[in-house]
Amino acid sequence: MNWPKGYALKELDEIDSTNEEARRLALAGERGPLWITAARQNAGRGRRGRAWVSPAGNLSATLLIAPGRPANECAQLSFAAALAASDVVLSFGTEARVKWPNDVLVNGAKLAGILLESASQSGADPAWLAVGIGINLKHHPSDTEFPATSLAAIGLAAPEPREALLRLAASFAKWYDIWRAQGFAPIRDAWLARAAGLGTRIRARLTNGETMGVFEGIDANGALLLRETQDRVRTIAAGEVFF
C-alpha cells in the first residue's frame, strides 16, 4: 500500500493536539492536504470539548484540507472519515460498525472517534478543515460513558501507528475523491451499510433534553432520522445516540 499522491505528512513525537497543530498551520497559511500525526498528545480533545486520551501506541492524526465547499457540505466528511477509519479496522481482521454521528464500534464498543474543526461555523466556505481521527490500537480508556475498546483488547495484534496511518490516509483519499466527484450520496449509502443500530430503538441526547425512537437512517445531509411515533419522524442535526 502506497502513501496517497499529493498528501504531505508531518510526524511529531509529542504535541498538545494534532487538531490544534492543524489550526496553527492553517492560520499561518497552510492549506494541505497535510496529515499531522503525533506519538503522544497531551491535550487531545473529542467532541463537545471532552478530553481524548492519547497514549503512545494509539493513532492520533489530523488531515488539514481546504475542500472549497460550504460548511454544511464539509460536515459530510465526518462520514467519509468514519468509513476510512472503519476500513482500517476491517483491514486488521475484525468487524466494524459506524455510529452516528462519527464513531467506529467493534463489538458495540468505541474503537475510533472523529472530530472536525474549521475556520467557519456558518454557511460560508471554510478557509480550511481539520479532520481529526483517533484509533485505539493498543490502549483504550475504561472510564467513559460509552464503552471503549482497542484492537489489542479484542485479541488482535495491534499494528504500529504508522502502519495504521498509511491505511487510513489511503482509504480517506479514496472516499474524499468520491465525495468531491459524486457528492454525499455514495458516502451516505456506504455509511448506512455499516451503520450500528439501524432499525432499532435508540436514545438520542440533544442540547435541550433527550428523546427515543427507531433509528431509520440519515438524510441527504447526514442528519439522523428518528421515528418517535408512528406519525412522526424527527430530523436531528446534532446530538449523541445510545443503544
195 and 214 Cβ atoms separated by less than 8 Å: no
Q: Lowest mean pLDDT: which of 14-18, 42-46, 109-113, 159-163?
A: 42-46
pLDDT of residue 38: 96
For residues 41 and 55, give the distance between their C-alpha atoms in angstroms, rounded to a whole number: 7
pLDDT digits (tens, 9 = 90+) for 179-190: 999 999 999 999
- Dihedral, CA of residue 166, residue 57, residue 107 and residue 134, to nearest 10: -60
Q: Which domain holds residue 234?
A: 201-242
Judged on CB neighbours under 10 Å (0-12, 13-18, 19+), 195 is middle
Please state the rounded mean pLDDT for residues 201-229. Answer: 96
Going by their DSSP bridges, the two strands 201-206 and 34-41 should be labelled as: unpaired
pLDDT of residue 142: 86
Query: Mean pLDDT across the chain, nearest whole number?
Result: 93
Distance in angstroms between the alpha carbons of the first and the last residue of the chain? 36
Is residue 79 a part of any domain in this protein? yes
Assess whether 167 and 217 both reside in one domain.
no
Task: Give the residue carrying C-alpha cell 460536515.
Answer: 75
pLDDT of residue 47: 52
Assess whether 145 and 121 both reside in one domain.
yes
Q: What is the CATH number of the domain that holds 220?
A: 2.30.30
140 and 146 Cβ atoms separated by less than 8 Å: no
Higher pLDDT, 51 or 162: 162
Is residue 2 a part of any domain in this protein? no
Assess whether 14 and 91 both reside in one domain.
yes
Query: Crossing angle, helix 161-182 and helix 185-193, to 10 degrees?
Result: 130
The structural domain count of the chain equals 2
Beta bridge partners of 56: 58
pLDDT of residue 51: 60
pLDDT-derived band at 8 (thresholds 50, 70, 90) equals very high
pLDDT of residue 115: 96
Higher pLDDT, 160 or 124: 160
CA distances from 37 to 11, 90, 130, 195, 236 (A): 5, 21, 12, 27, 32
pLDDT of residue 125: 77
Is residue 211 a part of any domain in this protein? yes
Position 74 pLDDT exceeds 60: yes
pLDDT of residue 129: 97
pLDDT of residue 119: 77
Q: Which residues of 110-134 are buried (b: 16+ CB within 10 A; e: fewer)?
A: bbbbbbbbbbeeeeebbebbbbbbb
Q: Is the pTM of this model over 0.75?
A: yes
Residue (of 193, 240, 239, 243) closest to 217 by Cα position: 193
Assess whether 33 and 126 both reside in one domain.
yes
131 and 116 Cβ atoms separated by less than 8 Å: yes
pLDDT of residue 53: 60
Q: What is the CATH number of the domain that holds 62?
A: 3.30.930.10
pLDDT of residue 26: 96
DSSP H helices, 75-126, are 77-91
3-state secondary structure 182-239: HCCHHHHHHHHHCECCCCCEEEEEECCEEEEEEEEEECCCCCEEEEEECCEEEEECCC
Share of residues in the chain with pLDDT > 90 (%):
84
